[in-house]
Structure formats: C-alpha cells, structure tokens
Amino acid sequence: MAFDPAFLDELRARTPIAAVIGRKVKLVRSGRQFKACCPFHGEKTPSFYVYEDGFHCFGCGAHGDAISFVMQSEGRSFLEAVESLASEAGLEVPKQAPVDRQRAEKQKTLGDVLEAVQRSWVRRLFRPEGAAGLAYLRGRGLSDETIAAHGLGWSGDGRGGLVSELREQGFEAAMLAEAGLMRLDEDGRPRGELFFNRVTFPIRDRRGALVSFGGRILGDGQPKYLNGPETALFSKRRTLFGLDRAQKALRTVRPDSGASSASRTLLVVEGYMDVIALDQAGFGAAVAPLGTALTAEQLEALWRVDPAPVLCFDGDRAGRSAARKAAEVALPMLDPDRTLRFMTLPEGEDPDSLVRKQGARAMASAIEAARPLGGVLFGLLSEGVRDPGPEQRAALMSRLMEAAGRIGHKGLAAEYRETLRGQFREAFSTWRGRNGAQRNRLPMPSARILPAADAAAEERKRMLVAILLRHPELLRDVEQAFCQIALPDGLARLRAAMLDWADEQEHRQSEAGEGGAGRSPPLDSASLIAHLHSTALSSEMEMVLAPSPLPLARAASAGSMPAEAEEAWWEFFGHLNAPSLREQIMAAERRLAEHWAPEVQKQLILLKTAQAAVMRGEQSDDE
C-alpha cells in the first residue's frame, strides 16, 4: 500500500526515533547524537549512532528511519510498522481510496518521466551538443567525477528532440508538462520545452527521489537560473537542494572519528554551484534553498538533521538582508535544543569562489568562526543605526523587544530580551561593568549633547530617576524611554548602575528558576538603594532624593503607589520628550493591532494620559 508522502513525513516528525530505538538497545548520548552497540550484528564497541531523523551503523552499514527500524528489528511489514507507529503518535492511518491510488500511480509516473529526462540530459552533456555546458562546468573548477556524482547535464536546444525521445519510451508531451518540463499555452496545452540551452541540476527530495530540475543558461539570457514549477512532486518551499547528499555525508563521518567540526556541520548556502563546489572541497553537508528566502518548512527540515546548522551568506547588502529574513523566520521556532549559527564571507566572495581562490582551509576557518543567532541578532536588527537620536533609539529598542517576544519558548525569550537590552546599552551608552571597568561606546545623550532648556527640565530629570529608585519594578516597562533622556553625568551614572542591577537580578531569578531554592528577591527599592550604596554612588543618590533645591514629587516618595508612580513618570517624560512620547504611542498601537495584550493596553492608556497633560501644558501639583 502506498501512502501519501505528507502523511509519512508527519509520522516521522511525530515519532522520536531515539525513544523507538531505546526500547531495544541502551542508548548513550554522544554529543548531539546517541550511540549504542548495534542490534543487527554482534559488537563490543558501539558503532551504531542515532540522529534526529535516522540511524546508521558504521559497522554493518544498517541505516534508516523509525519505520525501517521497526521493520528490521521486529520483522514487520511496511504497513504493519506504519500502523504501529501511527497508533503511538496518535495519527489515523489514511485509508487509500481509489483517488489516492490514482494519485500515487500518477506520482510514480511523474518520477519515471523525470528519471528518463535525467538520463537523456546526462548523455547530452558529454556529446558534441553539450560541449559548451561541459566547458562551463570545467571552467568553474568541477572535475568530471564531481559532474557525474551530482548528475549534471545539458538540456539541448529545445527543438522537440526531448519530446520525440521520450515518446519512444511511452511518455507523451502532456506527461512532461505535468512533470514541470514543458511550457503550457493559454489553453493548458504543451507548447515548448521549459529548459533549453541550459546546464541542468537534478533536484531531489531528502530521500533522494528526483522531483524537479534547475537550469543555468549560458551567456546573457534571463533568467540566469531557472527552477521547475510547482508540481505534484515538487514544492520549492519544502525542498532544499542537496539535502539527500548532506544527510548521507554527515552520517558517513563517525561522530567520534576526530574529523574537524567544519566537516560535521550542516551548511546552508545560496546556490547550486556553492553546494557542488563545497562538496568537491570536502564539505559534503551543504544545501541551498531554491531561489527563495529560507522558509519555515525548510528550517524544520534542517533541524531534523542538525540542531544548529550554519547559514552562510555573502558579505554584501543582499547577503545581510537574507540573513535578517532568515532570523525573523526562525525566531518563533527556536527552543533551547535548536538554533541557528551565522557565518559571513568577505564581501565579493561566495563559497564557490572562496574555496577556489583560498582553498578548503579558508572555508573551514570561516565555518568554525560562525556565531550563534543570539550573537548576531542585534547587529542584523540595528544595521544602519549610527549615532542615533532619541526617536531612532526608541524605534530600535522596540524592534529588539518585538523580536525577542516572537520566540515561543518563554525561558529562551527572556534570555534573548536580556541579551538584546545589554547589547543596546553597550552600543549606545557609557557605563561601568561589574568589574568597574569603563565601557565606552556611542554615548547616550548627555546634557552637553542636548542642553537642558531650563531648571524645570533638570528637575523633571531628577524626578524620573527618583521615581525609579523608589519603584524599580517599573524599570523594564520604561527602560526604552529612560535610555533616551539626556541626563547630567551624575544621573547618567545612576541610570547605568540601576539597569545593570536589574539585569543581574533577572539573571539570578532565571538561574534559580521559579519557586527554586535561593531565588533572588523581586526588584525592590531597598535592595536597589543598598546596591547603589555599595557601588560608591551614595552622593549621586543624595542629589536625587534630597528635598533641595525643590521637594520631591509625591510619586517619588517611599509611600506612593506603583500606578501613581508610573503615571507620573510618563508625564515627566512627556514634558521632556514630547516627540518620542508620540513614537511610543504609535508603537503601542501597532503592537495592539497585531496582538492584543493587557499590559500593552495599560501602557497605551498611560502614554495617552501623559500626552494629554503635555498638550494642555499642565503641570502636576507636585511640581
């Protein structure tokens, strides 16, 4: 019985293979994989490895997925193995109706068509008609062995020779059209070959089945690269060029063999030639999307092979844009067990040119220098931000927090928020780290950069800091705006120390875990003030909390309520920075339009209350 490939993919995705195999043999973790003594032949030293989506024995060569393991270990048929695993996974095995049988037969027939075309195009490449294509491939540094291993071919001139050749094998033009090999006219009839005068690249799914082709034209024609259209077999957003070979390459390198980490890394590059050139240079685990940005489906496929694949992008603007888009797609899908790493090549280079000019060692060094997503996300989101004003800083902080908020795993999202806040302050502030060493980056606005208008403005700044000293639980809600205000040096030192302290408290709470022993206290005023005394900032605090030259606002007093304090804080901020207050309101409105959340609604109400007070030109009784 033939099953819909989508059903089998879903079954494999829902079946943890380590749990299935662990019922038969004792598995021991070995890096990212598990290992054991092979259940299919006697051995004393483990050579049987279990990966995310399959197993491989380096002793006897047994390999496969969860379905094949059940078949081999329990002597079951394919149907019996599928039914057993589907029952455990809570999936209903689809009954094959006549239409399903017809679809399966049709897909088989389309596969036969593609294989017949592949054989024809491979033959043509090494005939006189394919001389230009063969010269092009050799000129790109590919050996004849590499050309043959990847099944590269030549499509011919498109004058009907392919149609005639396949008709002799029983395949009509309509079947070629269904397989994505011919153009259709307005009435849906075949009217000409899609691939002609092109070097051809067979595209296979992760199991190695031929599903489509790509082609490169020689000369100045457009498009330079062409992929086949969507068919019953081929979906661009679900397919990665070279994934079948990459999986095999990773499994032929024994994890404890001492091979370099670069040769055991799944690489994602931009095109066919990059994949093939890397394979020839010894990096067989390389794949490429098919002319589109990475999709969620492709990321899922990558993570089934490697929990931390490396995305390799060109060092130009287009490469940086592709990296940013990939990060944005990946964020909602991240968890502690799967992430991405990023490597950037020198501008003007791609993997193909790098290995040809500088050799495999240069590529290996670039791979080993790949940085995790958490280390590059700030740079991707802040590209082009140089010495920004308050509005630009507010917009950037909003982008950073929104990015972290898209991560579905709450604990990981909190870690990203902390990391991005720290990188923001490091990039745009001057502050002292825990060891007391000064870290200098682009400065936050200071009184010298944005002069205070009058004494009232200076007093409002003192009130902003005083309220947060009494109510540090508000720090995270107002941090973005707090970092925009131009403060005198003493207040700026307090601000930096307060934000560092809040980071440290949150980090301790995260390490302790909710309800865990030794959990740090919440952000409370007494703890904050004690900490600031210990960091030699007593005089700065006295300057803030003393009643001279003007009395403190009621909201900054020890007995004020948090809601009162928060409302007052935003009003003081609005008087100091009305344009940014409008930016804050628009950002909150956008967030509410995308996803309603009570905390965002509350903030919007406070912001609009402050804006109304500023527009009326009122001052609170406390002032």
C-alpha–C-alpha distance, residues 157 and 504, integer Å: 68
Residue-wise burial string across 552-590, b where 16 or more C-beta atoms lie within 10 A, e elsewhere: bbebbbeebeeeebbbbbbbbbbbbbeebbebbbebbee
C-alpha–C-alpha distance, residues 303 and 309, integer Å: 7
Average pLDDT, the chain: 81
Who's near 534: CB < 8 A, 6+ residues apart? none
Q: What local confidence, expressed as pLDDT, does residue 143 receive?
A: 95
The pLDDT tens digits for 204-237 are: 998 899 999 999 998 877 888 999 999 888 999 9
Look at the block and give the residue holding tokens 């240069």: 362
Nearest to 114 by CA among 275, 256, 234: 234
- Does position 585 have pLDDT exceeding 90, yes or no? no
The pLDDT tens digits for 103-127 are: 555 555 888 999 999 999 999 999 9
Question: Cβ-count burial of 272 within 10 angstroms (0-12 exposed, 13-18 middle, 19+ buried)?
Answer: buried
C-alpha–C-alpha distance, residues 171 and 165, integer Å: 9
Query: Which residues are 146's β-sheet partners?
Result: none
Cα 368–chain centre separation: 18
User: Per CATH, is 243-378 categorized as 3.40.1360.10?
Assistant: yes
Q: What separation in angstroms does the CA of 252 have from each of 205, 285, 334, 498?
A: 19, 11, 28, 53
Q: What separation in angstroms does the CA of 100 have from each of 3, 4, 80, 308, 582?
A: 8, 8, 19, 37, 58
Which position has the higher pLDDT, 248 or 430? 248
Nearest to 262 by CA among 337, 375, 369: 369
The pLDDT tens digits for 17-69 are: 998 999 989 999 887 788 999 988 878 888 898 888 788 888 887 888 899 89
Which position has the higher pLDDT, 553 or 565? 565
Q: What local confidence, expressed as pLDDT, does residue 115 receive?
A: 94
Where does the pLDDT of residue 506 fall: very low under 50, low under 70, confident under 90, or very high at 90 and above? Answer: confident
Q: What local confidence, expressed as pLDDT, does residue 448 receive?
A: 35
SS3 assignment for 286-303: EEECCCCCCCHHHHHHHH
Could you say which architecture CATH assigns to the domain 5-89? Alpha-Beta Complex (3.90)
User: Which DSSP state fits 264?
Assistant: G
Q: What is the pTM of this model?
A: 0.64
First and final C-alpha spacing in the chain: 82
C-alpha–C-alpha distance, residues 459 and 198, integer Å: 73
Residue 362 near residue 354, CB atoms below 8 Å: yes
C-alpha–C-alpha distance, residues 318 and 416, integer Å: 25
Percentage of residues of the chain with pLDDT beyond 70: 84
The pLDDT tens digits for 267-322 are: 999 889 999 999 999 999 999 999 778 999 999 889 888 889 999 987 777 778 88
Structure tokens at 574: 């609005």
Q: Do domains 5-89 and 100-233 have the same CATH topology?
A: no
Query: Which residues are 313's β-sheet partners?
Result: 344
Task: Choose the weakest-confidence range: 70-79, 277-286, 423-432.
Answer: 423-432
Q: How would DSSP label each residue in 297-344?
A: HHHHHHHTT-SSPEEEE-SSHHHHHHHHHHHHHHGGG-BTTB--EEEE
Q: What separation in angstroms does the CA of 315 have from each of 345, 360, 379?
A: 5, 18, 14
- Does position 382 have pLDDT exceeding 80, yes or no? yes
Domain residue spans of the chain: 5-89, 100-233, 243-378, 382-616
Task: Choose the weakest-confidence range: 233-242, 520-529, 544-553.
Answer: 544-553
Residue-wise burial string across 442-465, b where 16 or more C-beta atoms lie within 10 A, e elsewhere: eebbebeebebeeeebbbbbbbbb
Cis preceding-peptide flag for 98 (omega within 30 of 0): no
Look at the block and give the residue holding tokens 């990039």: 427
Could you say which architecture CATH assigns to the domain 100-233? Alpha-Beta Complex (3.90)
- Does position 517 have pLDDT exceeding 60, yes or no? no
Which of 267-271, 312-316, 430-434, 577-581 ranks highest by mean pLDDT? 267-271
